[in-house]
């Protein structure tokens, strides 16, 4: 099965640091404008603000002892500060998420335990809050943007025998091409913003795709939409021979095939979530990796024929 090079759909995934500052959001808006000018229909999938998923985990731990308000205040402040920097004012939806988190933390303190189901719901709030800000900013930039709840787009696969923990916190989803979804979106707008990391299960409960799973959300949507391209926008300008933050001499890998990219991500290179390759490989959708702070750098392109076939070592990773 191959992708359609004429497809209007393009999925762009932005990670935590890419959505945490005004400068980066201006870069996101610029990338979207250029895709619209090329006649494409962009679907943005993005993560929580950097560090917020960790804070939400901390909120759950602190809720047990009752000392959760300082962490909650930090979470709230980060979002209020970014909203104010982005010039988008008060957002009632954001207040609702803060209220819900406080209510849940009080409940956890009373009950004295956190179920995996509740953990997934609380941690999903990071992406829900961030995309609320992101969509409001892109609208303020004049883009015809629609916010979508990823739980109405992605459904977890039933895995008989999977533990409750894996089902709620490390789910995998169906990614067959979905013409009805393509039609539904084509009918409602031009630019879409949705959450990475989250999906629903067969009962409609919120589930997570595992830490770092937003890359995989993007890949699932690219497959379902039959996208012509899946772009990952992050804080480094592509995949390198080693982590460029710890190995400054690491070299940028311009072109890889799916199996090489899979090997690098499965051996621990955090730049790609290991489950994000299969959906794009299965439908031969080109995957590229770019830097939000240096959008002009070409980055890495992963395709079926990308690698040069040499047996030499392409990358070194540590876990």
User: CB of 236 within 8 A of CB of 245?
Assistant: yes
Which region among 65-73, 90-98, 206-214, 221-229 touches ligand ASP (by CB under 6 A)? 206-214
Angstrom distance (rounded) from CA 9 to CA 225: 7
Nearest-CB residue for ligand ADP: 15
Could you tell which of Mg ion, ligand ASP, ligand ADP, none binds residue 194, using a CB distance below 5 to 8 A set by kind? Answer: none
Could you tell which of ligand ADP, ligand ASP, Mg ion, none binds residue 20, using a CB distance below 5 to 8 A set by kind? Answer: none
Smallest gap from residue 197 Cβ to ligand ASP (A): 4
Smallest gap from residue 274 Cβ to ligand ASP (A): 12
End-to-end CA distance of the chain: 33
Distance from the Cα of residue 123 to its chain's centroid: 13
Kind and range of the H or E run holding 147 = strand 145-148
CA torsion angle 301 281 228 233 (round to 10):
-50
Could you tell which of Mg ion, ligand ADP, ligand ASP, none binds residue 283, using a CB distance below 5 to 8 A set by kind? Answer: none
Angstrom distance (rounded) from CA 41 to CA 264: 30
Q: Which is nearer to ligand ASP, 51 or 177 (CB)?
A: 51
In sequence order, the β-bridge partners of residue 290 are 233
Query: What would the two tokens of residue 26 be?
Result: 């201006």
Which of residues 48, 101, 128, 135 is near ligand ASP by CB under 6 A? 48
Which of residues 42, 134, 213, 226 is near ligand ASP by CB under 6 A? 213
Angstrom distance (rounded) from CA 127 to CA 131: 6
Angstrom distance (rounded) from CA 278 to CA 128: 26
Helix axes 52-65, 116-140, angle to 10 degrees: 140
Residue 218 binds ligand ASP (CB under 6 A)? no
Q: Which is nearer to ligand ASP, 40 or 59 (CB)?
A: 59
Q: Which is nearer to ligand ADP, 107 or 268 (CB)?
A: 268
Residue 42 binds ligand ASP (CB under 6 A)? no
Distance set, CA 84 to CA 25, 28, 141 (Å): 13, 18, 15
Q: Which is nearer to ligand ASP, 3 or 53 (CB)?
A: 53
Which of residues 126, 196, 212, 286 is near Mg ion by CB under 5 A? 212
Smallest gap from residue 160 Cβ to ligand ASP (A): 26
Q: Which is nearer to ligand ADP, 121 or 290 (CB)?
A: 290
Q: Which residues bind ligand ADP (CB under 6 A)?
A: 15-18, 47, 212, 234-236, 239-240, 242-245, 264, 269-271, 315
Residue 286 binds Mg ion (CB under 5 A)? no
Query: What would the two tokens of residue 48 be?
Result: 């929580």
Could you tell which of Mg ion, ligand ASP, ligand ADP, none binds residue 104, using a CB distance below 5 to 8 A set by kind? Answer: none
Angstrom distance (rounded) from CA 123 to CA 54: 9
User: CB of 269 within 8 A of CB of 239?
Assistant: yes
Angstrom distance (rounded) from CA 15 to CA 8: 23
Smallest gap from residue 56 Cβ to ligand ASP (A): 9
Which region among 164-172, 211-219, 255-263, 295-303 touches ligand ASP (by CB under 6 A)? 211-219
Angstrom distance (rounded) from CA 309 to CA 301: 15
Smallest gap from residue 47 Cβ to Mg ion (A): 7
Binding site for Mg ion (CB under 5 A): 15, 212
């Amino acid at each position: 099965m191959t992708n359609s090079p004429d497809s209007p759909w393009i999925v762009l995934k932005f990670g935590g640091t890419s959505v945490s500052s005004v400068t980066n959001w201006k870069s996101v808006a610029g990338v979207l404008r250029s895709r619209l000018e090329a006649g494409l229909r962009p679907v943005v999938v993005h993560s929580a603000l950097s560090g917020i998923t960790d804070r939400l985990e901390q909120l759950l731990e602190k809720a047990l002892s009752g000392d959760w308000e300082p962490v909650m205040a930090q979470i709230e402040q980060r979002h209020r500060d970014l909203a104010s920097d982005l010039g988008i004012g008060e957002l009632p939806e954001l207040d609702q998420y803060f209220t819900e988190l406080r209510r849940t933390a009080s409940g956890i303190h009373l009950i004295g335990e956190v179920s995996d189901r509740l953990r997934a719901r609380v941690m999903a709030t990071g992406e829900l809050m961030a995309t609320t800000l992101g969509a409001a900013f892109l609208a303020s930039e004049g883009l015809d943007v629609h916010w979508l709840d990823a739980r109405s787009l992605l459904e977890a696969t039933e895995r008989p025998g999977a533990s409750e923990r894996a089902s709620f916190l490390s789910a995998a989803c169906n990614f067959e091409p979905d013409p009805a979804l393509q039609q539904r979106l084509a009918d409602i707008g031009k630019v879409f913003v949705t959450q990475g990391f989250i999906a629903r299960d067969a009962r409609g409960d919120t589930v997570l795709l595992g830490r770092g799973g937003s890359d995989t959300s993007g890949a699932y949507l690219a497959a379902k939409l039959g996208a012509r391209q899946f772009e990952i926008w992050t804080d480094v300008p592509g995949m390198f021979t080693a982590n460029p933050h710890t190995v400054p001499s690491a070299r940028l890998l311009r072109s890889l095939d799916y199996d090489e990219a899979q090997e690098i991500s499965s051996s621990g290179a955090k730049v790609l979530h290991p489950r994000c390759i299969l959906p794009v490989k299965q439908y031969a959708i080109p995957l590229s990796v770019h830097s939000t702070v240096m959008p002009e750098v070409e980055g890495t392109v992963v395709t079926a024929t990308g690698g040069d076939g040499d047996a030499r070592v392409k990358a070194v990773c540590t876990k």
